[in-house]
Structures are given as structure tokens and as C-alpha cells.
């Protein structure tokens, strides 16, 4: 009945909470209409797999072109989250979405610097043909001639006024991986890359409550970007950075993290967690098992924001631990580092 009523309407009105209102034509998605209206609505894949366009439906009803449940968690679905690229309005809507990223664009780039950080993680810097504007924590899509398709890499440095012409990321070698195997073998040293950026909404939200950051492997990349940016802006929020590795040889950037700690104005603590070998001064187990203790130590769980980056299994376990401890879902932000073996990638 509701659907029939709307079918007679030519369009629906979508209001973004605290932002603009725009019209969505019949059978158009929320994302398509927002982009047409010139709104920098966060997105990437446009086919319902990456999660970049995740938004919260506050009022109204939508139809899903492909089920949101392929990409969103049960908790997110229950809380009213939708994928704007798959959502066709069935009524006027009120939608909450994190706006504030710079417009997405493509630049030409070449690798300017490479440096091994661990046995399987490399610091890579591209020099671009023009400056790229981004927010700390966002990522870029990297394409190269002959490659099977773009790969996503999160910026490891804080942005600068006017944009950066040198873009860096921590990149983990994935055995059998099309991009990383070629990169680590030196086959892309002189390649003509195309970088598309900025993508994602993994930036530090406003607030005065504590922050817990959780990373594994190359997942430290956007966390360093966020931390560097926050320390430069003089944040005084209490923070604990949990970082997981198998053994001590998986730890890196320790002096850079220590330097952040020295400049941080609130409490700052770095807790490395090893899952396969015990070491003096380090916690032993899975990094996500340290989340409840970190939250207790920070206090004020209800006001805590969480930022997680790394392999999908770590994010799923981390999300469960955070919600079980009482961190509100809307305060949990993550980028899942999925690859071709996962078949889809997700951000949140
Ligand atoms: C938002 C986001 C941000 C990211 N940021 C970073 C970052 O900062 N640093 C980082 O290191 N990574 C990051 N990643 C992951 C990165 O984008 C790549 O997925 C990763 O580097 C692997 O790329 P690849 O081309 O080497 O491997 P792929 O070619 O994607 O292959 C990955 C694995 O899948 C296997 N495989 C290939 N095809 C199939 C198939 N059809 N079925 C099953 N298995 C298959 C391969 O053998 C290999 O083991 C991010 C991912 C996302 C989504
Ligand atoms: S842009 Fe909507 S899920 Fe990727």
C-alpha cells in the first residue's frame, strides 16, 4: 500500500541530517541523486560491496536493490543503517551520513620512495602530478597499467593545507596478491599509476570522550594518519592504541608512536599485543581481547569512540567486543582491509 502510494509520486525528498535536502527521482538511488545534486556523498564501489556509502536512516522507508545484509552487520541493520548506493526511497527520508570529505578525483602518480618496515610491510610514497586533499584516516584507490583493478590503501600521514603531492601508505605483502607481489618484486618501480582519492569516512569524529584505536598489520597506516593529525591539532582526549602482531618482528613505527605519545596532551598509551610469542612488556593474546581492559582503563565507556583498521576477522571480533562493553554502535568506526579472497570490501 505504502509502496503503491509512493509509486504514484514522481520523486521523493531526502533531507540529510544537519545538511542539504535534495530530490530523488523515481527508481533513482539516494547516492545517484545526491551526486547529481553536487553533494560529496561518501561512496566508492557504487554496487553495494564496499560499505563506503553507509548511512543511517532516521525517518522514512527505502527499497534495497541488493540486500544491505551482504555488507552491513546485523547490528548495523538493526540500528537502521542502509547503503545509499542501493537504496531507492519509498517515501521522503531523513538520513544521517558523515559529510565533509573533499571531492573525489583522479591524479597521475609514480612511486617516489619505498622502505621496508617489517618482513612483510613496506612504506610506499607516491609523487602525484597535483596536490590531493584528504582527511586523516581516508584512503586512495591505486590503479596501474595491466593491473586487474584498483586496490585501496589508507594514507599513513596527516593531510596538509592545500593538499599533499606525496601520498604514503603502509602496504603488507599478500602472498599471491596481484598488486603487492608485483610491488615487492620491484616490477612497479617505474609504473605510471592512477590514484583516485579521497575515499572513506574513517576520520576522527568531534567529541571530548576517550578514544580507543585498534590495529593489526598494515592497519596502523590510517591510525598513524589520525593520530598525527590529532596531535597536530592539540587534542587533549585520552587515548589507548592497541596494536596486534604475531611476534615482535611484526611491530614497527615504535619511535614514531612514542613521539606521538610525547606530544599528546591527554593520556596516551600504546599497548602492543602479540598472539604467538610472549615478550617482556608486551601483552599476549589477540588484540581484540585487550579491548575491554582498555575501555575500563579509559573510563566513560558511553562517551568512548573506537577506530579500528585491519583484517576483516579482527574488525568483526573488535566490533563484538566494543558493543558488548557498551560502546554505542554510532561511535565505532572501521575500515576492513579486505582483498580479492574476501570477495568484497567494507568500510564503516
Ligand atoms: C578501505 C581499504 C583500505 C585498505 N588499506 C590498506 C592499507 O593501507 N594497507 C594494506 O596493506 N592494505 C590495505 N587494504 C587492502 C588492499 O586494498 C588490498 O586488498 C591488498 O593489498 C591485497 O591486494 P593484492 O592485489 O596484492 O591482492 P589480491 O590480488 O587482491 O589477492 C589477495 C589474496 O586473494 C587471493 N585471491 C585472488 N583472487 C581470488 C579469488 N578470486 N578467490 C579467492 N582468492 C583469491 C590471492 O591469491 C591473494 O592471496 C585496504 C583495503 C580496503 C578495502
Ligand atoms: S558505494 Fe555503496 S557500498 Fe560501495
Read off the pLDDT of residues 61-89 as tens digits, 9 standing for 90 and up.
999 999 999 889 889 999 999 999 999 99
- CATH 3.40.50.80-classified regions of the chain: 211-336
Backbone angles phi, psi at 150, to 5 degrees: -65, 150
Tens of pLDDT, residue by residue over 140-160, are 999 999 999 999 999 999 999
| Closest atom of ligand 2 relative to the 85 alpha carbon | 2
Edge-to-edge strands of the sheet including 268-274?
283-284, 268-274, 239-245, 211-216, 305-310, 332-336
- Return the percentage of the chain with pLDDT > 90, whole number: 87
Q: Give the span between the Cα atoms of 214 and 244, in whole angstroms.
A: 8
- CATH 3.10.20.30-classified regions of the chain: 2-96
The CATH number of 2-96 is 3.10.20.30
Residue 182 above 90 pLDDT? yes
Q: How far is the CA of 195 from the centre of ligand 1 (A)?
A: 16
Q: Which CATH number fits domain 211-336: 3.40.50.300, 3.40.50.700, 3.40.50.80, 3.40.190.10?
A: 3.40.50.80
Q: How far is the CA of 336 from the centre of ligand 2 (A)?
A: 14
pLDDT band at 281 (very low <50, low <70, confident <90, very high): confident
Q: How far is the CA of 237 from the centre of ligand 2 (A)?
A: 32
Backbone angles phi, psi at 167, to 5 degrees: -110, 125
Contact (CB, 8 A) for 213 and 167: no
At residue 10, the pLDDT reads 75
Q: What is the pTM (predicted TM-score) of this model?
A: 0.93
Longest C-alpha distance within the chain, in Å? 69
CB atoms within 10 A of CB 276: 9
Topology of the domain covering 105-199: Elongation Factor Tu (Ef-tu); domain 3 (2.40.30)
Would the CB of 334 count as within 6 Å of ligand 1?
A: no
Q: How far is the CA of 310 from the centre of ligand 1 (A)?
A: 12
| Closest atom of ligand 1 relative to the 217 alpha carbon | 11
- CATH 2.40.30.10-classified regions of the chain: 105-199
Amino acid at each position: 500500500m505504502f509502496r503503491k502510494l509512493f509509486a504514484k509520486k514522481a520523486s521523493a525528498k531526502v533531507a540529510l541530517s544537519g545538511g542539504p535536502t535534495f530530490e530523488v527521482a523515481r527508481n533513482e538511488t539516494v547516492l545517484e541523486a545526491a551526486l547529481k545534486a553536487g553533494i560529496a556523498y561518501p561512496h566508492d564501489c557504487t554496487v553495494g560491496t564496499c560499505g563506503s556509502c553507509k548511512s543511517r536512516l532516521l525517518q522514512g522507508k527505502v527499497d534495497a536493490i541488493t540486500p544491505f545484509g551482504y555488507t552491513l552487520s546485523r547490528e548495523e541493520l538493526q540500528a537502521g543503517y542502509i547503503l545509499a548506493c542501493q537504496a531507492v526511497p519509498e517515501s521522503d527520508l531523513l538520513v544521517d551520513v558523515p559529510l565533509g570529505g573533499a571531492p573525489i578525483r583522479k591524479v597521475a602518480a609514480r612511486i617516489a620512495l619505498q622502505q621496508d618496515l617489517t618482513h612483510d610491510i613496506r612504506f610506499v610514497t607516491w609523487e602525484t602530478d597535483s596536490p590531493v586533499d584528504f582527511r586523516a584516516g581516508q584512503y586512495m584507490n591505486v590503479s596501474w597499467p595491466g593491473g586487474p583493478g584498483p586496490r585501496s590503501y589508507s594514507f599513513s600521514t596527516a593531510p596538509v593545507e592545500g593538499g599533499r603531492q606525496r601520498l604514503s601508505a603502509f602496504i603488507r605483502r599478500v602472498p599471491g596478491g596481484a598488486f603487492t607481489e608485483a610491488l615487492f618484486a620491484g616490477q612497479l618501480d617505474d609504473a605510471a599509476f592512477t590514484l583516485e582519492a579521497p575515499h572513506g569516512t574513517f576520520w576522527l569524529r568531534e567529541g571530548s570522550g576517550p578514544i580507543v584505536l585498534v590495529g593489526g598489520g598494515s592497519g596502523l597506516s590510517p591510525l598513524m594518519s589520525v593520530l598525527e593529525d590529532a596531535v597536530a591539532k592539540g587534542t587533549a582526549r585520552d587515548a589507548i592504541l592497541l596494536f596486534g602482531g604475531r611476534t615482535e618482528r611484526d611491530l614497527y613505527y615504535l619511535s614514531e608512536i612514542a613521539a606521538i605519545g610525547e606530544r599528546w596532551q591527554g593520556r596516551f598509551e600504546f599497548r602492543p599485543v602479540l598472539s604467538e610469542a610472549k615478550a617482556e612488556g608486551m601483552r599476549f593474546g589477540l588484540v581484540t581481547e585487550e579491548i575491554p581492559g582498555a575501555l575500563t582503563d579509559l573510563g566513560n565507556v558511553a562517551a568512548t569512540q573506537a577506530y579500528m583498521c585491519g583484517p576483516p576477522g579482527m574488525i568483526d571480533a573488535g566490533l563484538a567486543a566494543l558493543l558488548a562493553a557498551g560502546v554505542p554502535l554510532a561511535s565505532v568506526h572501521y575500515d576492513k582491509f579486505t582483498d580479492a579472497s574476501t570477495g568484497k570490501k567494507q568500510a564503516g
